[in-house]
Amino acid sequence: MRRVVITGTGVVSALGNSTASFWQALLSGTSAIREITSVDTSQVRFKNAAEIREYKPEEHFEARDIGFMERFAQFAVVAVRQAITEAGIEWTTNLRETTAVITGSCLGGRAVEDSGYWELFHNNKNRVHPLTIPLSMGNAGASHICMQYGIEGPAYTISTACASSAHAIGQAFWMVRSGAAPLAIAGGSEAPFFIGGLKAWEAMRVISKDTCRPFSAERSGMILGEGAAMLVLEPLDSALARGAHPLAEIIGFGMSADASHITQPVATGPSRAMRLALSDAGLAPEQIGYINAHGTATEANDRIETAAIRNVFGPHADKLAISSTKSMHGHALGASSALEAVVSTLSLKHGALPPTANYLTADPCCDLDVIPNQARLTQVEACLSNSFAFGGLNASLAFKVFP
Amino acid sequence: MTGLTIEDRVLKVIATSKRVPIENVHPDSSFESLGIDSLDRLNILFDLESEFDIEINDEEAKQVQNIHEMIEGVTHLVQAKTDSSPTE
């Protein structure tokens, strides 16, 4: 088994369209949650989200290509370009033929279907856009990444709701560790702002009308976000041999299913995912100094996640720090775990832990150290990143500092 | 719906949504005794909004602990709707 390191990251997010701007905003505790502007929300009961305001497709793509890529697929490619540039990958024929591309997305390009169905059902049109299928398919991000770089290796997309990109990164990690792929590009992308999607979330009654306040007594639900994050994973030995600079090591992956309820979480599944990530990593619980929590700011998630962490870590739970950066970049669904994997990577590289923003007062049922509002300069040895999807599908990734 | 009270209609919505016999649903039934979980509650709220043409906000819905309070809440919303549109 090979040790696997992260040598490049790329981010498109409401906090910034580069890893550097994303990290700066996280450290300053800036929340990107504002009133939604891309969709008319006059008929929607919630108004706020973490939208990307500074994104212009023509700055990233040729005019002739834009029409072939839905927003979520564009985000995926833009994030991959950053990650590959940072990693300094030099493509060879063999590398192109064997590199893996594994992406996560919850909705894919469903906004295209939404507008097509509007024409059908509301405007009595008899046809939809001819590219509706290739624009909306969930794997469009992975396909465009492959086409962009001529990557011909194993490529696929995982859709496990809010854990999609954690499962994608975990699979990619295992492929590189086992030698099945010499290089992997993994992450997720999402563009969930379209009226039908917003109405669906409204009907779930889990979206805050205020802001995202994870673990805080005043929390009132989740806030949607959008964007993409991608990571380049490669074996440590070959990264060092080509002179690359590892940002952090990825060392463990655990996953589990609650097998309980389609929306109501239980603590046992998340606990098992964390335990499995620790054992896959060969880490003792005491080696974990930080957990990037799933932390959606719903009452159910935050209490269950707190209980699950206490269950796994015992007395050490009071010594480790956790935070939910969804308070700043929103819940970008299938892209969230990838954004948060980048957070974990950068926390280890820079020796700093981003806060849980928008925090007001403590909830006795969420009584861990949640790094309220102020980032902390702390170098931890290892961290976990948790992702728990609707449907009870859980994933936890373990990362370790690369000295 | 003439002849049916708001209470009758709420109980009927709950019975239909949860697919339980109407005889089993009473104002003093608890959600637990009827096996109504968080997702069932979402469905019932959705069906109540359709049945009465009302909008039940998330915060008020969260406060509702039993069927009696559900009937009370719907009654208030129906009353408020009637008051605000006297011509109907």
Distance in angstroms (rounded) separating the CA atoms of residues A69 and A140: 8
In a domain, B19, yes or no: yes
Could you tell me which chain A residue has the CA closest to the CA of B60?
A205
* Interchain proximity B58–A263, CB inside 8 Å: no
> Considering only CA atoms, which of A164, A184, A188 is closest in space to residue A87?
A184
Residues A84 and A222 both lie in one domain = yes
Distance from CA of A45 to the nearest CA of B (A): 8
User: Residue B27 sits in a domain of what CATH number?
Assistant: 1.10.1200.10
Residues A235 and A291 both lie in one domain = no
> In a 3-state reduction of DSSP, which class is residue A353?
strand
Residues A131 and A264 both lie in one domain = no
Bridge partners (DSSP) of residue A35 are A48
How confident is the model over B59-65, as a mean pLDDT?
89
Residues A45 and A124 both lie in one domain = yes
Could you tell me which chain B residue has the CA closest to the CA of A204?
B42
A209, A221, A262 ranked by CB distance to B39: nearest: A262
Domain count, chain A: 2
> In a 3-state reduction of DSSP, which class is residue A319?
coil
In a domain, B1, yes or no: no
Could you tell me which chain B residue has the CA closest to the CA of A209?
B58
C-alpha distance from residue B7 to each of A269, B11, B14, B42, B47 (Å): 40, 6, 11, 19, 14
In a domain, B45, yes or no: yes
Centroid of chain to Cα A231: 11
Domain count, chain B: 1
Can you give the pLDDT at residue A326? 98
Can you give the pLDDT at residue B2? 62
Q: State the residue range of the domain holding B44.
A: 6-84
Of A241, A262, A286, the last residue of a domain is A241
In a domain, A163, yes or no: yes
In a domain, A348, yes or no: yes
Say if residue A35 is exposed, middle or buried (CB neighbours under 10 Å; 0-12, 13-18, 19+).
Answer: exposed
Can you give the pLDDT at residue A384? 98
Q: In chain B, which residues have their Cβ closer than 8 Å to the Cβ of A262?
A: 39
Distance from CA of B7 to the nearest CA of A (A): 24
In a domain, A246, yes or no: no
Of A209, A241, A273, the last residue of a domain is A241
Can you give the pLDDT at residue B85? 74
Distance in angstroms (rounded) separating the CA atoms of residues A384 and A394: 13
Residues A273 and A354 both lie in one domain = yes
In a domain, A247, yes or no: no
- Cα dihedral sign, A228-A234-A239-A245: positive
Can you give the pLDDT at residue A189? 98
Q: State the residue range of the domain holding A93.
A: 4-241
Residues A218 and A312 both lie in one domain = no
Can you give the pLDDT at residue B88? 47
* Interchain proximity A263–B57, CB inside 8 Å: no
Annotated catalytic residue A366: no
pTM metric for this prediction: 0.95
In a domain, B60, yes or no: yes
Residues A196 and A288 both lie in one domain = no
* Interchain proximity A45–B57, CB inside 8 Å: yes
**Residue type (1 letter), B85:** S
Distance in angstroms (rounded) separating the CA atoms of residues A396 and A394: 7
Distance from CA of B3 to the nearest CA of A (A): 31
Residues A215 and A264 both lie in one domain = no
Residues A231 and A256 both lie in one domain = no
User: Residue A140 sits in a domain of what CATH number?
Assistant: 3.40.47.10
Q: Which residues of chain A have pLDDT under 50?
A: none
The DSSP-derived string for A64-118 is HHHTTS-HHHHHHHHHHHHHHHHHT----HHHHHH-EEEEE-SSTTHHHHHHHHI
pLDDT band at B84 (very low <50, low <70, confident <90, very high): confident
The DSSP bridge pattern shows strands A288-292 and A248-257 to be: unpaired
Can you give the pLDDT at residue B86? 60
> Considering only CA atoms, which of A110, A79, A83 is closest in space to residue A16?
A79
Of A189, A215, A241, the last residue of a domain is A241
Residues A167 and A119 both lie in one domain = yes
